[in-house]
Amino acid sequence: MRARRAAIRAEYAVEETEAAEAEAIENQQAVVSVRVPATLAEALRARAAAEKLPTSAYVRRVLVRAVGEPGEPVMTESRVEEIVRRVLRESA
């Protein structure tokens, strides 16, 4: 059973890599591969599912927000205010 799971995972990884490379070529994007702790990967998948997004799209959104535009601070005043409003709303 483990060997079958490993084979399925390997096949899936190859397919995902091929799809990502094709998308990168089409959209003039670069493919970035990064290792993260399993708990972080699961948290990313869960948040992506909650927003009904593919994990790669969710991670791309997180990275764009984290990096922002060149010269732009990562945490602007309006972003902090937005976070505070969301936390207050969710904790009510």
Going by pLDDT thresholds of 50, 70 and 90, the confidence category of residue 4 is confident
Q: pLDDT per residue over 10-60, tens digit each? A: 777 777 777 777 676 677 777 888 888 999 999 999 998 998 888 888 888
Does 62 score more than 90 pLDDT? no
Q: Is the pTM higher than 0.75?
A: no
Q: Which residues contact 51 (CB under 8 A, 6 or more apart)?
A: 58
